[in-house]
Amino acid sequence: MEFSRAAAALLIVLALVAQAQAGVWPRSRPYNIAHRGASGFRPDHTAEGYQLAIDLGADFIECDVVLTKDLVPVCRHEPLVSGTTDADAKFPSLIRSIIIDGVNYTGVFTTDLTLAEVKTLRCKQPIADRDQSFNGQFAIPTLEEYIAIAKGANRTIGIYPETKHPTWHDSLPIVKAAQTTMSDIVLNVLKKHGYKGPINSKAWSKQPVFIQSFEVGNLKYLSRKTCIPLVQLLSDWNTPIPDMPSMNYSAIMSEAGVKEMATYASGVGPWKNTLVRAKTGANVTANGAALESTGLAERIRKNGMQAHPYTFRNEARYLTYGAFATAMDEFEFFFVKLGIEGAFTDYTGSLRQYFTMKSMEQGRLWNTGAVINRAGRPKPHNPKC
pLDDT at 369: 59
- pLDDT score of 365: 61
- For residue 289, what pLDDT is reported? 83
CB 37 within 8 A of CB 60: no
73-75 and 211-213 as β-strands: parallel, antiparallel, unpaired?
unpaired
What span, in angstroms and rounded, lies between the C-alpha atoms of 95 and 240?
27
CB 150 within 8 A of CB 159: yes
**How far is residue 24's CA from residue 284's CA, in Å, rounded to a whole number?**
38
Distance CA 367, CA 297 (A): 11
Strands of 313-365 (E only): list them.
342-345
Nearest to 243 by CA among 262, 218, 210: 218
For the chain, the residue count is 385
Q: Which residues contact 89 (CB under 8 A, 6 or more apart)?
A: none
347 inside domain: yes
Segments of the chain with pLDDT less than 70: 1-26, 362-370
Structurally, how many domains does the chain consist of? 1
Sort 171 into a burial class: Cβ within 10 Å, 0-12 / 13-18 / 19+: exposed
Q: Looking at the domain assignment, is residue 265 inside a domain? A: yes
For residue range 204-217, list pLDDT tens digits in order: 999 999 999 999 99
24, part of any domain: no
Q: What is the pLDDT of residues 49-96, one digit of tens each?
A: 999 999 999 999 999 999 999 999 999 999 999 999 999 999 999 999
E-assigned strands of the chain? 31-34, 60-67, 73-75, 96-100, 103-107, 158-163, 211-213, 230-234, 240-241, 244-248, 267-270, 276-278, 291-293, 306-307, 342-345
**Range of 171's domain?**
39-78+144-373
* 108-to-41, 43, 82, 100, 105 alpha-carbon distances in Å: 25, 18, 6, 13, 9
Q: Is 381 a catalytic site residue? A: no
Per-residue model confidence (pLDDT) at position 380: 80
Is residue 136 a part of any domain in this protein?
no
Q: What percent of the chain has pLDDT over 90?
A: 79
The pLDDT mean for the chain works out to 91
Contacting residues for 216 by C-beta, under 8 A, at least 6 apart:
232, 241, 243, 244, 252
Position 192: which residue type? K
> For residue 235, is it within any domain?
yes
CATH of the domain at 292: 3.20.20.190
**pLDDT tens figures, 190-246:** 999 999 999 999 999 999 999 999 999 999 999 999 999 999 999 999 999 999 999
Closest residue by Cα to residue 163 from 130, 136, 190: 190
Q: Is 298 left (phi over 0), alpha (psi -120 to 50) or beta?
A: alpha
Residue 88 lies in a domain: no
In a domain, 324, yes or no: yes
Establish whether 77 is a catalytic residue. yes
Cis before residue 240, ω within 30 degrees of 0? no
State the catalytic residue, choosing from 45, 77, 169, 308.
Answer: 77
Report whether 27 contacts 33 (CB < 8 A).
Answer: no
Rounded (10°) angle between helices 182-192 and 216-225 = 40
Q: How far is the C-alpha of 338 from the C-alpha of 330, rounded, in Å? A: 11
Q: Is the distance from CB of 71 to CB of 111 less than 8 angstroms? A: no
Angstrom distances, CA of residue 37 to CA of 42, 321, 381: 8, 24, 32
In a domain, 333, yes or no: yes
Angle at 46 (CA atoms; ends 128, 216), nearest 5 degrees:
90
